[in-house]
Chain A
Amino acid sequence: MNRSAQTVLIGVAALALIFAPLYLGAYSLTLLGRVLALSIAAIGICVVWGRGGILSLGQGLFFGLGGYALAMHLKLMATAKGELPDFMVYNGVEALPWFWKPFVSAPFALLMVLILPAAAAGLIAWLMFRRRITGVYVSIITQALVLAFVTWLNGSQGLTSGTNGITDFQMFLGINLRGESVARGLYWVTLLILGLCLAATALLLRTHFGAILTAIKDNENRVRFLGYNPAAYKIAAFALGGLLSGVSGALYTLHLGTISPAMIGVTFSIELVVWVALGGRSSLIGAVGGLILGNLAKDKISSAAPDAWLYVMGGLFVLVVLVLPQGVAGLLNHRRVRRTVPSVRREVKEVTDIA
């Protein structure tokens, strides 16, 4: 597919999304809004994995931090002044824990939605990359960290409501979340934020920063020898990925009206990665598109045949990796990729001739 056809396709998709509330039913609109919120996390994965070459299996951690930061504020808003959130009462907690207190303020909570995930991601990245931990080690460590987070959440009933998660929200910024037109408004807000994140990331990747990031993925040592500090760039990219995941988590919590450890765990984190891989890890549109379409398909198939879903999902994992390493976006850019392939093959052949 050539460039202009791509632009037209993206334009049509964007228009279809903008006007979706006018032609979609209530259920479909909620589903689409939810999936759009999720797809912001896909942008982060595209930056970290597609461009930076760092496979994080712990994006759920940052997603969860963003989600819980907002959920704590919403829970306090739904609780009468001077009283404790219901789950704390059931668990015999007598005073509001210190880290809950500042979340009464909406600006603080919104700020934390941005700062907490970005700072956590930055810290983790700093710990890993300054010791030059790379490749699969990073994947294993991030997966272990998301498991640690979820295990802690599950174990602390009184502080975070444990496995049940935080739920029963009512008001946010003076808006009743159960009001009639809220679904539409929330959808458009989500779409707007997604658009902004996409545009900002696309611009960022075109700068010097983006170029160095890709260079690090291709050959980290060469970048180091050229006088750059790869760790700094990787930490920045990882923090950005965390930030985007956090924003996604907060929006997702608003859409779903709840957040629980099961929603952000190991399986969730790895599923995110697979949808991005399916769409095309190194293309922003591919990553976002893959996640949106993948989750819509998941909703359809898993409600029609719950038992078959895991087979489909598992099969997709294998198939994408074996057949479509660059995802659907790579398939659409077939011609550009093809041009370089024959020259590589010729080289290999010459070597075997000598042998």
Chain B
Amino acid sequence: MDPVFLSGQLFTGLSVASLLLLTALGLALSFGLMRVINMAHGEFLMIGGYLTFIAAKLMGPGFLWLAFPLAFVGTALLGALLEFTVIRRLYGRPLDTLLATWGISLILQQAARQIFGSTGVPVTAPAWLSGAVVVHGGVLDGLTFPHVRLFVIVLSALVLGGMWWLLNRSPFGMHVRAVNQNREVAASLGVNTRRLDMLVFALGAGIAGVAGVGLALLSPVNPTVGAAYIVNAFLVVVVGGVGSVLGAGAAALLLGFTTALAEGLTSSSLAQSIMLILVVVFLQWKPKGLFPTQSRALEET
């Protein structure tokens, strides 16, 4: 395979992995903390995308300054609402949450279909993002890096760094880690676990909303875009190890690269199938994912 094509595939894989990572971060957080499987998480991505579309309509070329806060706050509020009305009633019943949130995702998708139509709405990237970096000379002559994809990669690196700081260096993060390790003990030491659950859930939703902005820049937003990402995002969580931010990052890269490489070698649909089967095989080797939470407990509570 020629090196230009190969590096191009890897670069595309990296940008896809970035979006996957942003989507999976929220899932990893809420799954690690509350053992909640949120099937409607992909719809936060979709809503973030539509909010970007609205921002672009309102503001014109400089819309990104509005799109980020709008997408983050909008989806975070919706996440908080979802947590308050449905999810907190289902703690300790992960399989049931899965079904309920799938129902919510159906409702949100249908609502989007009726408001925005079933075909994708395009968002034009601002002028400073529409160019590309082109490599001249050397082995990689002719390789292009579109600005939009570079922007998405930088964005997700920034969010990942921010999340790492928040979880490992801030008081909020200390509480999250404490509840993650032992909910009862954390609660008895004065952590308001209910409030924390809601905040973490809203935060995860907000990050997915931000991912939606990146998604809107890369391709048109349609009602089923969230559903397309959700299965892969869950695989990232499973491969990375539940509740591990680092693991989610590594797994997103791994999945993104594997898919991009397989796509280069065979057809796109076969690549997707191969990737999914590779994940199942991987779990034979490491059933708890790349970075499992160490625990001596016999059963997960």
Interface residues, chain A, CB within 8 Å of chain B?
55, 57, 124, 127-128, 131-133, 135-137, 139-141, 143-145, 147-149, 151-152, 154-156, 221, 266, 270, 273-274, 277, 307, 310-311, 313-318, 320-322, 325
Contact = CB atoms under 8 A, between A and B. Distances in A.
A155 B270 CA distance: 7
Interface residues of B, number: 44
Contacts, number: 125
Contact of B94 (A57, A135, A148, A273): A135
Interface of B: 31, 35, 37, 86, 89-90, 93-100, 102-107, 109-110, 114, 227, 231, 234-235, 238, 267-270, 272-273, 276-277, 279-280, 283-284, 287, 298-300
A246 B273 CA distance: 21
A273 B287 CA distance: 25
A317 B279 CA distance: 29
Given A136-B94, A273-B99, A321-B99, A310 B273 contact: no
B187 to A, nearest CB: 12
A139 B107 CA distance: 21
Nearest to B97: A321
A148 B277 contact: yes
Given A133-B283, A136-B37, A310 B109 contact: yes
Nearest to A225: B298
Contacts of B102: 270, 317
Given A133-B287, A136-B37, A325-B96, 10 more contacts: A55-B98, A136-B94, A144-B235, A307-B114, A311-B106, A314-B107, A317-B100, A318-B86, A321-B103, A322-B100
A163 B273 CA distance: 15
Nearest to B40: A314
A131 B287 contact: yes
A148 B272 CA distance: 7
Contact of A127 (B90, B96, B105, B280): B280
B263 to A, nearest CB: 11
Contacts of B90: 321-322
A310 B284 CA distance: 37
Contact of B106 (A128, A156, A310, A322): A310
Nearest to B35: A136
Contacts of B95: 55, 135-136, 139
Nearest to B266: A155
B203 to A, nearest CB: 21
B238 A155 contact: no
Q: Is the interface of A mostly helix, strand, loop or mixed?
A: helix
A282 to B, nearest CB: 13
A316 B103 contact: yes
Contacts of A221: 298-299
A274 B106 CA distance: 13
Nearest to B237: A140
Contacts of A140: 37, 231, 234-235, 238
A273 B96 CA distance: 11
A138 to B, nearest CB: 9
A251 B246 CA distance: 47
Nearest to A224: B298
Nearest to B269: A155
Nearest to A307: B114
Contacts of A128: 283
Contacts of A320: 99
Contacts of B276: 144-145, 147-148, 151
13 contacts: A131-B284, A135-B300, A144-B276, A147-B231, A149-B273, A152-B273, A155-B267, A274-B103, A310-B110, A314-B105, A320-B99, A322-B86, A325-B93
A144 B272 CA distance: 10
Query: Which 4 pairs, one residue from A and one from B, show the smallest C-beta to C-beta distance?
Result: A317-B103, A155-B269, A314-B106, A314-B107
